[in-house]
Chains A and B, each alone.
Chain A
Amino acid sequence: AQKITQTQPGMFVQEKEAVTLDCTYDTSDQSYGLFWYKQPSSGEMIFLIYQGSYDEQNATEGRYSLNFQKARKSANLVISASQLGDSAMYFCAMREGRTGNQFYFGTGTSLTVIP
């Protein structure tokens, strides 16, 4: 089974609107971390936001927030007030406490912000 599933290959959003990128995960660990990364066309991986499995509140970092629904095993990324510079690939990732350093990545979502 896939550890991380991103079902949206591509998404479009109007500039200044909000957009939600979906991510579901699969793990039997009680301790795990969920991460979102942005990859612009230059190829670098930019860390956006982190949610721990024991965190009771949804993580927020500026215009990024993570809608964490533990029972549904989902960790959707919400980008508010989209900007043209948000156009990029977005990857959801998970790190399990049991397996240590290894990260599992989803297939990614290509976001395009329309002016």
Chain B
Amino acid sequence: GAVVSQHPSWVICKSGTSVKIECRSLDFQATTMFWYRQFPKQSLMLMATSNEGSKATYEQGVEKDKFLINHASLTLSTLTVTSAHPEDSSFYICSASPPSRDANTEAFFGQGTRLTVV
């Protein structure tokens, strides 16, 4: 099946620094990728939709300047957590689906990134 690769799988950074997380679709082109945040024992919260060649669409309450998204190619989207603070510590996970006109294509997820800000 299709593969989405996310890197790094975990990162520890100091407060005030920035962290970049990469999400790659390895065997299909993805014009759209999704970034989620997940707190322990909770569901995935959609943060933003990453659109290749255009600006990302952010969900209400998500700071655009805090969580920078760049979808520079059809196989790569990046999420940069800028000026990270301890409250940004969380599990971040991306997903993408091969292009499809209907609703029957599953979402493929990256492995997730566990971010800890100290």
Contact = CB atoms under 8 A, between A and B. Distances in A.
Contacts of B112: 43-45
Contacts of A29: 103
Interface in A57-115: 89, 91, 93, 95-97, 100-103, 105-108, 110
A52 B104 contact: yes
Contact of B106 (A50, A100, A107, A108): A50
B93 A108 contact: no
Nearest to B106: A47
A107 B102 CA distance: 24
Interface in A36-63: 37, 43-45, 47, 50, 52-53
A50 B34 contact: no
Interface of A: 29, 31-33, 35, 37, 43-45, 47, 50, 52-53, 89, 91, 93, 95-97, 100-103, 105-108, 110
